Homo-oligomer: A and B are copies of this chain.
Amino acid sequence: MPRQVVILGSTGSIGTQALEVAAALPSEIQIIGLAAGSNFELLAAQIGHWKPQVAVIFDESKFADLKNAVGNSPTKLLCGMDGLLEAATWPDSDVILGAMMGAAGLRPTLAAIEAGKDVAIANKETLVAAGEIVMRAARERGIKLWPVDSEHSALAQCLLGEDPNTVEKLTITASGGPFWTKTREEIAAARPENALKHPTWTMGRKITIDSATMMNKGLEMIEACHLFGVGMEKIEVVVHRQSIVHSFVSFVDGSVKAQLGVPDMKLPIQWGLLGAARVEGDAPKLDLLSMGTLSFEAPDDARFPAIDLAREAMKLGGTAPAALNAANEIAVEAFLEGQTDFYGVTSCVAHVLERHENSARPALDDVLNADSRARECAREWLQR
């Protein structure tokens, strides 16, 4: 019996790769639900191919276009947040892939958990902004959260069969991004087109800029704290240019485990969708004999202040990580549109964090309010 999968964010980078994973494993994975933000054309094509039970377009203004494009179909078509929530809690589903970008992914992911669904979680914001809430809900329902990014999947794979109380440190690898070999002055002068050239991963624009500032590692550190229930003092980052080792777990006895693979999202997507089961799929294989040389370097806070900002936000806890994340989204957008320079991104985030009025033990509304206030504060700083 294949796993019944709903993909929230099926037209994005993770979503389309998840469908390739599913196509390679028809006896393991059945796609029963699809949801997209606004790309109704690709969603319509996916509906034609996969014939899911349900499909959702979040952007209600595209609902008529979607219906036109799909035409006659047994698939139930829905729109808006209500549609997302219905797909996220779809009765026949075994696992929900949460791959919608931004805050739109948060409520459906939480709804899936509360409905007792396992969640393969590719939406960073969900854990960064609302990690406490999400993890508490997962514990209460006894569901499994499968991380779908290479670093956290690596950590989870290394922790299989191990006692989490024996973890001494989680070390997340970072490619270093396009600016690792540049001076602070060169980085300060970088333009969006420079920052968008990532050495090893092909990803969306927002996450590619996050990789250049290394804020993506900061966000991943916060995620790791939540996913694996450890404090920020147990998380470190090591720069590994080749992106072959995806992360390390160090144990109290001195042993270290690592997970490696070709830099390709299909492996963590498949591992998450199958709930840690391993079958031969569409992911490429790593040839250890021709792997060559792997390098590891300490990060550099002077040139890449984002990691420290994330560390500070996580230590504050409460709604501070939500504010960090929201401010970063606004600042990255501004950088991409030429409204601030490269170090303006982290300066903006630092400013917002300083001004942030923290709420400890926040409810979802507190998180969403902190997110809005931080965006507002970031916009004001950028327009100063």
Contacts and interface: CB of A to CB of B under 8 A. Distances in A.
Interface in A101-117: none
B162 A248 contact: no
A256 B278 CA distance: 11
Contacts of A160: 160-162
Interface stretch (A183-191, A257-265, A328-336): A257-265
B261 A256 contact: yes
Contacts of A254: 261-262, 264, 266-267, 281, 283-286
Interface stretch (A223-231, A290-298, A367-375): A290-298
B285 A289 contact: no
Nearest to A270: B253
Interface string A271-287: 10000011111011110
A253 B267 contact: yes
A1 interface: no
A288 interface: yes
The complex is assembled from copies of this chain, and their number is 2
Nearest to A285: B254
Contact of A248 (B163, B288, B297, B298): B288
B162 A278 contact: yes
A253 B238 contact: no
B259 A281 contact: no
A376 interface: no
A149 B261 CA distance: 25
Contact of A294 (B158, B267, B294): B294
9 contacts: A171-B288, A238-B288, A238-B289, A245-B258, A253-B279, A254-B285, A255-B261, A289-B296, A293-B293
Interface of A: 157-158, 160-163, 166, 168, 171, 236, 238, 245, 248, 250-262, 264, 266-267, 270-271, 277-281, 283-286, 288-298
The 10 lowest CB-CB distance pairs between A and B, nearest first, are: A161-B161, A160-B161, A254-B283, A166-B278, A256-B260, A253-B278, A289-B298, A252-B280, A294-B294, A258-B258
